[in-house]
Structure 1
Amino acid sequence: MYKILIIEDEYHIRNIIKEYFSLNHLEVIEACNGYEALNLMNESIDLILLDIMMPGIDGYEVCKLLREKTKKPLLFISALSEDENQLKAYQLGADDYITKPFKPSILYAKCMAMIKRDQKIEQEIITLGHIQLDKTNHLLIVDNQSIELSHKEYELLVYLCEHPQQLLNRDQILNKIWGYDYYGDGRAVDTYIKKLRKKLGIYACYIQTVIKTGYMLKVVSDDEIIQTNTR
């Protein structure tokens, strides 16, 4: 069951959304102001619905603060229909904007489309230990820092990440990454493994050498990482 956080100070609007969404098997978490929403926000939330005009801190400020904590889909629901209001919302990180009054069925359809799109994007990120591989943007992410990869580095890391704890010999890697018509030797693999290890920094030990055979990507414990980097 997907979980929706509704941040709206008007009870009847929250109730209309909650009733319709609940009938369609969505769990709804309610917040009547921005402060309450910031306390309720957590990783289990799949999508955020956010009003603009609220007591305390307005929706714009809430959006700004939420975007420091999460990348989950965020949709503004507001009576403000002017272009500048919508533009500001998008500039602050909103994914969509719907004006009041709206049909619950349309809002529901928008929410489901955004959730499914977000899930598809998440599937394009491989997470192994402290590293991530963003297949959409061809980036290596180490401790939340994005690191650019060359085309061959990216292809090699994808191959390793998609076969964790599996020994890949040099011929397998050459055939997969360089192609069957490549006439060089296995030293090309060794060179690019060295490049990847440098970009992995303290997590270079994730790529393990199997002597005279090939390489294996294996997530090791933090203790092993510390020991490796203090030798």
Structure 2
Amino acid sequence: MTSPQRAFIFDMDGTIVDNMAFHTRSWMTFFQRRGHALDADAFFLSTAGRQGHEIIRSYLGESVSDADHAALMAEKEAVYRELYAPHLATVAGFDALIGAAREDGVALVVGTAAPDENIAFTLDGLDLRRHFDAIVGAADVRRGKPNPDVFLMAAERAGALPEHCIVFEDAPLGVEAARRAGMRAVVLSTTLPAEAFAQFDNVICVARDFSGLSIASLFASTPAAPII
């Protein structure tokens, strides 16, 4: 009897790369140009993991047309890429973990709310695309996190059942999306402390980075949220 397919599903922003501060700064710049003064911390908690069109319509209203939305998103993402480009790098231990996972037969998938341009900017800029079995982004699903759509599609493309998938996330909305998908989650505390995830019953580990994570231990884990 063959073992079931296992999969690691990685959020991208704030997880593969430690860039959420740059995304928040670009959103602050974008909304300041339109007369909105926002609290950066509150904005992150309410939006991280949501798709760009959802965020824009939350603040600018449902009347934004599709054409206007495309132009607005292009503006915001151009600001982000300009800010983050000099700092583009993977979180410590990521390259070693995916190399070990590949050798162990674990499928690797990206499940992100990012648009295609930012996926290319990050994954191609770091030559990471070749390591993944599939990539699911904002263009592939209708609803962003905390809806489970992106992770369920990632599992489907990996050929793995949700109970055999582990999601790596940095944001509460992403961990909630994993919970709704029936998946365990590893939290990277790149953006928020462990306490921000205390309410989630699907978290098996909170870690500062990917260093020292054991593939066998992760798949054997039940939610307890030890801090590494």
Q: TM-score, normalised by structure 2?
A: 0.37
Give the structure with the higher percent strand: 1
Indicate the structure whose relative CO is greater, using CA pairs within 8 Å and at least 6 residues apart. Answer: 2
Q: TM-score of the superposition, structure 1-length normalised?
A: 0.37
